Structure 1
Amino acid sequence: MAQDGSATAPVEEILIWGSDAGQRSSMSHPASVLTQDDLASINIATTEDVVKYEPSLVIRRRFIGDSNGTIGIRGANMFQTSRSMVFADGVPLHYLLQSRWNGSPRWSMVSASEIAQVEVLYGPFSAEYSGYSMGGVVLIESAIPQQREFHFDSSYYSQEFDAYGFDDRVNGYKTFFSFGDKIGDTSLYFSYNRLENDSQPQTFYFGANNSSPTASNVTGGVIGNDQYGNSQLWFGDTGVVDTETQNYKVKIGHDIGAWSGLLNIAYEDRASGHQPNAYMRDSGGDLIWSGNVRQDGDGISIPAGRLGVGEQERDSLSLGLRVRGPLTDSIDLESNFNQFAIVRDESRDSLRNPADPGFTPAGQVTDFGDTGWQSAEVKLTFNDLGVDNLGLVTGLRYDAYELNIDVYDSNDYQSGDKDSLNSSSGGETDVSAAFAELSWLPTQQWALTLGGRYESFNSDSGYYTTSVGGAVQPVTVPGQSRSAFSPKFTAAYQATDNWTLSYAVAEAYRFPIVEELFSQYQAYNTINQANPSLKPEAGLHHNIGVEYGFDGGYIRVNAFQESIDDVIEAQSETLAGGVSVRTFIPIDQVDTLGAEFIVNASDLWLDNLDVRFNTTFTDNEIVRNRVDPSIEGNVYPRLPEWRANLLATYHISDDWNVGLNYQYADTSFGRNDNRDTEQNVYGAQDGYSRVGIKTDYRFANGFSVGAGVDNIGNDIDFVAHPWPGRTVYLNVSYDWQ
């Protein structure tokens, strides 16, 4: 009853520091397991690629190297990042400090080349995880060598993209190498990953209507609709986004008898920048960067700061320690400790484009101060409670988060001068938890779990600034304390050797994060309002599963239902000129009803043909909303009704694979009022149908080569921002043992 896919270790002579390869946590908890053998058809550049074809899961990675690779699982959309948890070797990668695009997991702290196995748990049905697992949990397990080894791989990427006034090809590359060894009882692993890539423009700009009689006549603007179907005159874009990420990783494992420890140190050095493009030219052929202009009778205003340049530097350090072993013959202990610190995170933006005749060095500098988190967990597993096949997992966990953001007006943005404070905000939260879960196998056919999680939440030290008489003054924001208990129950019945039925039910409470409570600032293009009195989201979740297992795989159907009260929604409005005003306002109730159909099989129809296929249907509805009853009955944003994924790999030989990948989603909405119905335009929530291919060949001397293409049809799809056009992958690797 515990198998899910192949039980063969995915990497020879490598230890996985989690569950055994191919193992599911529980048959009664909806889950999916990926080993390295399952990845043969995926063009993998970064860690997000490993899981993006899994059921009911979406990764909004807009380009290779995107720092905003948000995740959504089941009824949690891609901007509800605090409803999904991601761990690597027990170290949290989820970013429970900010939300929406800023709240994506820190995927780049783990290199795709070091991953041995991934398990996705759907829903908050385990007492071991907090209410931040409402959507699900991604558990990444890396490998640590058991003998001396060296690995090197390098990839090249090339994407073509054509939309609005941009038509060009952008390129990138990745280089990774690692060295590992085991000396006595100590395992050592060192790796370096460098990714450099240029992306397509991520934002396209149109101007606010302006009938000024002094407007200059121009050409080159692009006429097209926005997501609401209104005709607009587009004057520019953010230009190519140039990203460079370097990751340094050290893992040290040590065994003392039956006890083992794993120290995990990861350091990320990330830099990015963009140079906007202007489309419009005056009668002399010069580019227009700001001012009132008119094209073919349409007058618009181009704000002076809209086409300014920007760059960001971010350095992050993650420390993790996992210790596990037996206390007695029947009691095991596991402890996890982690500290994540933003060593530096600074964005520098100019007020005007350097090509603008009115350019000066003036700009803004946004700086993160003391920002990061700490977590500690101790967990005991009792394997003998005096009743046959009765076990208990119980433990304590503590998480503390701190966020501080300062925005400065600068007389020289390139130098990072912080001349005068424009705004500042931040605060702290912490969650203490105690959990226990009984598991019982009363017969060979039945598996039952009963658990609960008690959590105590606190927020404090909140503040923001306001302007009084031209001077910036701090304002103290009140904190809050809340607690909640979340019961859990699951059951599985193996009716025959092939058929298994399961049911799971759980309550979950998702407490607000620091940004939702305290973040209040005004930058050039964004105004954010805090809401320190937010209550936790309260969810009731059900899952009914039916599985038919056979040699080499299974067919699985899950039906799930989620009803969540006080949904914390980051609602925003774009004002004339493109300034976005955002605040966090709860929606009283959102319901989701869904179903998943999953087929994972080896040697399906043909020998050597492996297939992973899944399709998901969801029906989402805003049931109650007292603040704005007009949106009741609407579809909740960014949740397509239908989604599907396919991975098909044919093993021509033991050394040569060819594969096909496919992703599908139908259209959705980006707003609660469901007014954004226009498709294939910037800002839309397009459906998409993307086909990719991949092949790789392994030589006897340790070298491997591969090639692939994603989005063969070169569809230009917008999920608010544009997703990549046709992308070519070339890679080479070498392994020595």
Structure 2
Amino acid sequence: MPRLNPLFIAIACTYPFCGYADTADAVELTSVAVQGTHTPLSRQDMAPSSDISAEQLQALTITTVEDALKSQPNVIVRKRYVGDPNATLGIRGSNMFQSTRSLVFADGMPLHYHLQTRWSGAPRWSVVAPNELEKLEVIYGPYSAEYAGNAMGGVINLTTKTPQKREISVNGALFQQDYDINGRDESLKGGRFFASYADKIGNWSLFGFYNHLENKGQPQSLFASSDSSDENPTVVSGGLRQKDAFGDDVIIYGDSGVVDTSTDLYKLKAVYQNDGFEWRNTIAYEQRENDTTDTRSFLKDANGDTQYGGHYIQNGTPFYATDSRSRFGDSRQDRNSLWLGTGITAPVSDHWYAKVDISQFSILTDERIRTSRKPSDPAFDGSENIQEFKGSGWQTLDTKLATDQLFNRADMSLSAGYHYDLYKLQINTGRYNPTNNEPQSSQPDSGGDTETQALFSQYQWRFADDWDVNVGVRYEQWRAMNGFRKEGQHPDRKEHAWSPKFAVGWQFAPGWSTRYSLAKATRFPIVEELYNNVDITLTQNIANAELKPEQGIHQNLNLSKQFDRAELSINLFYDRVQDTIFNQRIVNRRSTFLNVEQVNTKGAELTYDIHGLFHPSIDMIFNTSYTDARIARNSYTPESEGKQFPRIPEWQNNLIVTWHALPQVDLNSHVRRVSNSYNTLDNSDTESNVFGAIDAYTFVDLKANWQVTHQAKLALGIDNLLDEEAYVHHPYPGRTVILEGGYRF
């Protein structure tokens, strides 16, 4: 298979570009995504799904695009602060650190980041601006042959807007969080600015915009003591006596500091539409910076001098503060990315359509620099360390051919296609020279490539008025190659897998329907799991080039009822996954990716949406989900067998109530309730509301929308109204006030 030529994609994107102006104009805008064209290329009825419209999005405070998912059933996004680059995604029985078990697309182009996993594996949400989002769809599980085994959790399809007239739009937002925890009492502020130009010239829809976000996030890590037996400890004060996630007494002696984050997104789009033919082009350039320069040690000796590590005693309690002054060093990350995509949808003949999508995501720069000590430390010698991503990114190609009248029969439809992707990751480490802002010396540390080619086919037969059956199959050929670490090369690997799919649906009464879906899925390891070795001061992760692919059998039973003004949906699901890939601790501070032999997940989801609850001006969206994910077999850590799989809450609940108080004013409330979960395989971390815990929480969000004039709008939101303190290992944001405004010309 020849490599995709970046120049070809760049040329395809040099035409005029398109966009939209404002969410309030949803009625004037049409969708770029093929799902909106109602052709046979649309997803067939294989999988349960949940949709959220442009009107429903207005009820949520959306500072970054992943906020649009916070009301969806059995979906959780670990967003720790506004602008968090590591907002990882969990769906159903796939937790927020199993990001390779979810797929995220924007207008058919992939945003999922299948180079790394855990905290570093978040989708690249920030290449989509909130103001361009029209609607989204969540597809649960790997029931459609169109998607790879990475859809074990599910698929997120983001649809952006296409303008139908000339318009200039300006939007902005200000947000503020008051943070008063562990001795810090600060007002953390941020803002977002969006400006766009949209036009419609003949068959071309043209769009260009600039989106800027900057914010200060609360400290994400606390430094905790361990036991000490030193006979001559230094007497100190200032440490905070607390519990850790395991219920042990510790002294918190420092924090990682406020996070300064900023993102600049430049995006150009062009869509050509004519008589069923559509050509989509996108180019996006993103600049991100994350800086932390105010790490703090709480410890003071008798002379009032700050202490950064060693053996201490405070109020008669001896303890050890890890003697690693680099944890108090300043850190910064500079990341520049380029995203290119082009796609064509076209009628081939009567009732036959074809679709082709090509994309390339290039990490132009990704440098993570950290000083060896805190610059104010008298012992600081000016040295800095750097971690660089070199030549990393991915390329994808998707083709699809479909008809809604197979053999000229209106009761049969067929779709088939081909997929190709190539993921490349190389990490260099070394020293950094702050004098000339260039690496002083760096060398390849670890990296490698993965490549997948796949064929799929899906057939639907509506064999009776109230019955249909769907069958599909996906064949995938996977290669891992060019894997290396400092110690040497890894041998290349090549494997393949067949993944059959089946679904049957029955509309057994007016407005009532049910569907049973069954699928096999294979999720192959990604580059980080196979090749990425990390050795930093407090953590050492050893990659595992011998990992087995995950193999899952997934079942779902759906029951739905359509009422005049409401919709009810119930899903019961059961997943059995063998050889689940999970990072496990092997000794002291070392960990590695290992296969957990079997994890079983069962659960249920209920959603109920109604327009006109008690009164025509009141709408309600309610969903609740229960997920029981249990480790059935794990020979490496047998004490984990029978325990709840980490970072998967048993209960998730959402209630959104919207009151259309006036024709121009909507008042919205959103209550999110999530139960606690665990961070360890053996569920030994049982303490709540401390750093390191995975807490239960109830967040109450409010938002008021005011369409001042046809051109102007204002919105005021409060997230976490009750200022609840909760942790997802790291602290979630406290009460945050958001003021938004926009004007279109």
TM-score computed with the length of structure 1 as normaliser = 0.95
Gaps of 5+ in 2: 1-22
> Do residues 167 (structure 1) and 185 (structure 2) align?
yes
The SS at the match of 2:100 is helix
| 1:393-542 map, 5 Å | 393-410=415-432, 412-413=433-434, 415-421=436-442, 424-466=445-487, 475-542=488-555
Provide Cα deviations, 1:21-48, integer angstroms capped at 9, x if missing partner.
6999455521011111011221110001
**How far 1:414 moved relative to its partner?**
7.0
| 1:151-300 map, 5 Å | 151-275=169-293, 276-297=295-316, 298-300=318-320
**How far 1:439 moved relative to its partner?**
1.5
Q: State the Cα RMSD in Å.
A: 1.8
> Do residues 729 (structure 1) and 738 (structure 2) align?
yes
The SS at the match of 2:325 is coil
**How far 1:283 moved relative to its partner?**
2.2
1: distance between equivalents of 2:672 and 2:211? 27
**How far 1:254 moved relative to its partner?**
1.4
Match for 1:694: what amino acid?
K
1:201/1:240 contact within 8 Å kept: yes
1: distance between equivalents of 2:255 and 2:24? 48
The SS at the match of 1:327 is strand
2: distance between equivalents of 1:10 and 1:507? 42
**Using a 3 Å threshold, how does the CA distance of structure 1 residues 610 and 644 change in structure 2: closer, same or farther?**
same
Q: Equivalent residue for 2:668?
A: 659
2:659/2:668 contact within 8 Å kept: yes
1:350/1:413 contact within 8 Å kept: no
Match for 1:536: what amino acid?
P
**Using a 3 Å threshold, how does the CA distance of structure 1 residues 721 and 457 change in structure 2: closer, same or farther?**
same
Match for 1:105: what amino acid?
P
Q: Equivalent residue for 1:345?
A: 366
**How far 1:582 moved relative to its partner?**
2.6
**How far 1:430 moved relative to its partner?**
0.5
Report the more deviating stretch, 342-351 or 8-17.
Answer: 8-17
**Using a 3 Å threshold, how does the CA distance of structure 1 residues 574 and 728 change in structure 2: closer, same or farther?**
farther
Match of 2:718 among 705, 709, 716: 709
2: distance between equivalents of 1:414 and 1:25? 55
| 1:683-702 map, 5 Å | 683-702=692-711
**Using a 3 Å threshold, how does the CA distance of structure 1 residues 574 and 118 change in structure 2: closer, same or farther?**
farther
Match of 2:339 among 318, 324, 342: 318
**How far 1:648 moved relative to its partner?**
1.2
1: distance between equivalents of 2:447 and 2:120? 15
1:349/1:413 contact within 8 Å kept: no
The SS at the match of 2:349 is coil
1:40/1:649 contact within 8 Å kept: no
**How far 1:257 moved relative to its partner?**
4.1
2: distance between equivalents of 1:356 and 1:666? 42
Gaps of 5+ in 1: 1-7, 467-474
**How far 1:682 moved relative to its partner?**
0.3
2: distance between equivalents of 1:212 and 1:422? 39
Q: Equivalent residue for 1:638?
A: 647
**Using a 3 Å threshold, how does the CA distance of structure 1 residues 621 and 415 change in structure 2: closer, same or farther?**
farther
Provide Cα deviations, 1:697-736, integer angstroms capped at 9, x if missing partner.
0022411111111111111101111000011111111123
1: distance between equivalents of 2:428 and 2:336? 17
**Using a 3 Å threshold, how does the CA distance of structure 1 residues 731 and 9 change in structure 2: closer, same or farther?**
closer
2: distance between equivalents of 1:42 and 1:182? 29
**How far 1:162 moved relative to its partner?**
2.7
> Do residues 600 (structure 1) and 600 (structure 2) align?
no
**How far 1:492 moved relative to its partner?**
1.6
> Do residues 370 (structure 1) and 391 (structure 2) align?
yes
Match of 2:124 among 106, 111, 116: 106
The SS at the match of 1:38 is helix
**How far 1:431 moved relative to its partner?**
0.6
Q: Equivalent residue for 2:26?
A: 11
The SS at the match of 1:313 is strand
**Using a 3 Å threshold, how does the CA distance of structure 1 residues 604 and 79 change in structure 2: closer, same or farther?**
same
2: distance between equivalents of 1:702 and 1:13? 14
Provide Cα deviations, 1:405-437, integer angstroms capped at 9, x if missing partner.
011134x35755434447600000011000000
**Using a 3 Å threshold, how does the CA distance of structure 1 residues 30 and 555 change in structure 2: closer, same or farther?**
same
Match of 1:558 among 563, 571, 576: 571
1:272/1:312 contact within 8 Å kept: yes
Provide Cα deviations, 1:647-677, integer angstroms capped at 9, x if missing partner.
1111112211000011111111110011100
The SS at the match of 2:682 is coil
Q: Equivalent residue for 1:471?
A: none
Provide Cα deviations, 1:38-62, integer angstroms capped at 9, x if missing partner.
1122111000101111011000000
Provide Cα deviations, 1:43-82, integer angstroms capped at 9, x if missing partner.
1100010111101100000000000000000000000000
Q: Equivalent residue for 1:46?
A: 64
Match for 2:313: what amino acid?
R
Q: Equivalent residue for 1:472?
A: none
**How far 1:573 moved relative to its partner?**
6.8
Q: Equivalent residue for 1:308?
A: 329
Match for 2:319: what amino acid?
G
> Do residues 134 (structure 1) and 152 (structure 2) align?
yes
Match for 2:426: what amino acid?
N
**Using a 3 Å threshold, how does the CA distance of structure 1 residues 701 and 436 change in structure 2: closer, same or farther?**
closer
The SS at the match of 2:126 is helix
The SS at the match of 1:638 is coil
Match for 2:218: what amino acid?
Q
> Do residues 392 (structure 1) and 414 (structure 2) align?
yes
Match for 2:531: what amino acid?
F
Aligned residues: 716
1: distance between equivalents of 2:705 and 2:405? 48
2: distance between equivalents of 1:513 and 1:688? 32
Report the more deviating stretch, 106-115 or 19-28.
Answer: 19-28
> Do residues 73 (structure 1) and 72 (structure 2) align?
no
2: distance between equivalents of 1:360 and 1:241? 24
1: distance between equivalents of 2:329 and 2:587? 19
Q: Equivalent residue for 2:626?
A: 617
2: distance between equivalents of 1:327 and 1:423? 48
Match for 1:715: what amino acid?
E
Match for 1:73: what amino acid?
I
1: distance between equivalents of 2:440 and 2:192? 38
1: distance between equivalents of 2:73 and 2:689? 25
Report the more deviating stretch, 226-235 or 489-498.
Answer: 489-498
**How far 1:294 moved relative to its partner?**
2.1
1:22/1:35 contact within 8 Å kept: no
2: distance between equivalents of 1:280 and 1:262? 58
